[in-house]
Structure 1
């Protein structure tokens, strides 16, 4: 018969520690490759949408479609993870994103808006994979180290996401060699990188971290891990810290996407070259990912709620600079860097709070629900960002972040400084 042990006893076993280290290394490598492959979307993808639709109002359609694709993929990927493990879910997600990149090449060739929308929907699956990879890193780790471990996987996307938006120039070189339209070449590079990421995870992520953790966790609360999405959401909403985490990650993603979506168009209208657009987006994603280990460490040390409060203040600073920038590239770069840092200070601690708050058996499903919700609201923000930009300019669009940050800051102030989450009992299987 299984012997009941302490809640974290099994996570100290040598074979579990070894499996955790191997999983994190593979997740980091997959994240680097995948984020590089996905990097063309914020710069080249938005310009492709403007070219295909011939409308700045519709330029946000690319980001909307991609973010909606991530929202639609979040729950199916979580279901795949629950039944088949992280290896199956993450690898399939990268492959679907590669198919999306191929469809976008077709859109660039034909100037077909339907292909552009469909390609971005499929391409958005890669965003969902990148988000769920951060949760996969915490499946086997000790609770006290979750913040740092999760943030290192987030941080590992720095190289890819900084270099990815600059695929415009090498993409044009590839296009010339293959006889493709100038904006198509970046997605040729994406296909290659995303397929490699998928194969890496499919072949090498063994033992599967989620399936390994499931062998040890007691389901004394009656959860089977196969609850309906409605039941999962009801459980998530009924837990105060989990509810706050949900609202935090939704707010962070909504603010970030609404502004980043129209940044390439804003810079282009003020005379910036494709290279400047790529550099600006790179600085933005540097803010999102480069400091995430410090954000994770701070979340472990001073608590995620305080870090979230800092994040909302950073969002407000970014908004003020965006309003004052008037299209100047230097000020826009600074604003976008702070926008990315605010996203990190919301997403990392919010993800930690979620992981620590919900029952272990429904944790993957809850993670999928949260990722789908955050991308769903962000898709709405991306959809309306074009018309808002056309009506009131980039400064007016920036006020969205204010409308999100102020209520979240007030909510965080009311939260307890220290949140204690009971740990579920665990077993050592025979």
Structure 2
């Protein structure tokens, strides 16, 4: 008998396994997938506003407290390092208990961390600030982990599009968040909180609401239901019916490498752009606009990227990500410091290149990892992403202090090209032409 793919329903049943067809009151897989995507979209809209706070003012807040540009990249390094720990925790909790408790706990931790940042700003305590950024980082890590939940029940030929649906939902909050930096700063000042800590008022509320939405509405749990469906059909849904794009460990390494390189380059350039703008006389409103364009480009193209990955395969799109990041680095390096428009365009290309890399890398891993170890492996992959972000954030301030922003941007763009030989080596090793990377149902 041909096995129905996840997201299309199945005739199997397992008594006592929630969310599996055949259990009274349990939803059909396709119906459950639609509901799950709606809930994830709602939570991502909220969390998108939360993650923008640290990006917009984190470096400026650290520089104000420490009085040093060379350490302005430290907040980015700390909350991306903290997100590595969260990625492991959320991955393991999701593996053991399902996506719902894992994601809800991650966002709640992000809300607590945001409150800690506000407290640190009031007390002018850099040590507390850095500790609180670890908690704040949980929201960032959980925002990324949520994309995997969108793919748990998706048909193999639509997994990238499911991931993209979750990612694009971050756009609304992610674009609105940076542009609320000035208003939330004024609100913070009116209640006796330093203006630069204002965006963290927004992030705390946003992460808390995202946690509430997931805790209450993410039922059935997508990962637990996917396991039930796999058990009912006696087939692992992570590989059954999916194109065998790359086999084994090499595929996981390639997917992680693509995401690591794009994250490293993106975080390094993004972190120091607000500082670069500030040094050329621009205020938080200009920084907020540029970062809003950047975050919009990170998430808004996701539906198109998902379609491209499903249609042409993840390897081609991974290669495109390297070229796009090079273009972003070149433009950022050559743009005049007083040109907000050109820097916004450069940061837009930077976000687009990151999007290509994240969606294609995620697709490579999703098509390779078996369901039995999926959440744990995904969590470890995101640990690599977080470490790369920490490295980019920490090194960015040092590079700018020593050689200037243009050198940082140019170096990042050139480094992104390392994606190309990695993809080429994988194709050569597999002795498979790129055409075979196209899903079988594509025209």
In the superposition, the TM-score normalised over structure 2's length comes to 0.88
More displaced stretch, 180-189 vs 131-140:
180-189
Out of 223, 226, 238, which is 1:210 matched to? 223
More displaced stretch, 252-261 vs 318-327:
318-327
**Aligned pair 1:8/2:19, yes or no?**
no
Pair 1:9–1:39, CA change in 2 (3 A)? closer
Aligned to 2:21: none
More displaced stretch, 390-399 vs 179-188:
179-188
Q: Contact 1:357/1:421 (CA < 8 Å) preserved in 2? A: no
- Between the aligned partners of 2:85 and 2:159, the Cα distance in structure 1 is 27
- Between the aligned partners of 2:413 and 2:196, the Cα distance in structure 1 is 34
Aligned to 1:426: none
Out of 278, 281, 304, which is 1:271 matched to? 281
Aligned to 2:190: 177
Per-residue displacement from partner, 1:88-145 (whole Å, max 9, x unpaired)? 0111111100000000011111111111111111101111111111000011111111
**Aligned pair 1:312/2:325, yes or no?**
no
Out of 63, 66, 69, which is 1:53 matched to? 66
**Aligned pair 1:30/2:43, yes or no?**
yes
Aligned to 2:206: 193
- How many angstroms does 1:222 deviate by? 12
Out of 347, 363, 384, which is 1:352 matched to? 363
Q: Contact 1:154/1:289 (CA < 8 Å) preserved in 2? A: yes
Out of 247, 256, 262, which is 2:272 matched to? 262
Aligned to 2:395: 384
Pair 1:290–1:10, CA change in 2 (3 A)? closer
Out of 314, 337, 362, which is 2:373 matched to? 362
Aligned residue runs from structure 1 range 56-205, under 5 A? 56-205=69-218
- Between the aligned partners of 2:64 and 2:437, the Cα distance in structure 1 is 49
- Between the aligned partners of 2:66 and 2:3, the Cα distance in structure 1 is 59
Moved over 6 A (4+): 219-223
Out of 336, 340, 345, which is 1:329 matched to? 340
- Between the aligned partners of 1:170 and 1:397, the Cα distance in structure 2 is 31
More displaced stretch, 394-403 vs 411-420:
411-420
Unmatched tracts of structure 1, length 5 or more: 226-235, 423-430
- Between the aligned partners of 1:402 and 1:8, the Cα distance in structure 2 is 40
Aligned to 1:375: 386
Aligned to 1:301: 311
Pair 1:130–1:9, CA change in 2 (3 A)? closer
- How many angstroms does 1:219 deviate by? 11
Tell me the SS of whatever aligns to 2:152: coil
Q: Contact 1:305/1:412 (CA < 8 Å) preserved in 2? A: yes
- How many angstroms does 1:420 deviate by? 8.2
Aligned residue runs from structure 1 range 225-244, under 5 A? 238-244=248-254
Tell me the SS of whatever aligns to 2:396: helix
- How many angstroms does 1:406 deviate by? 2.1
Out of 345, 351, 375, which is 1:340 matched to? 351
Aligned to 1:402: 413
- Between the aligned partners of 2:6 and 2:386, the Cα distance in structure 1 is 36
- How many angstroms does 1:402 deviate by? 3.4
Unmatched tracts of structure 2, length 5 or more: 11-26, 239-245, 428-432
- Between the aligned partners of 2:80 and 2:378, the Cα distance in structure 1 is 17
- How many angstroms does 1:331 deviate by? 1.7
Tell me the SS of whatever aligns to 2:142: helix
- Between the aligned partners of 2:185 and 2:399, the Cα distance in structure 1 is 31
**Larger RCO of the pair (alpha carbons < 8 Å, separation 6+):** 1
In the superposition, the TM-score normalised over structure 1's length comes to 0.90
Tell me the SS of whatever aligns to 1:184: helix
- Between the aligned partners of 2:171 and 2:369, the Cα distance in structure 1 is 29
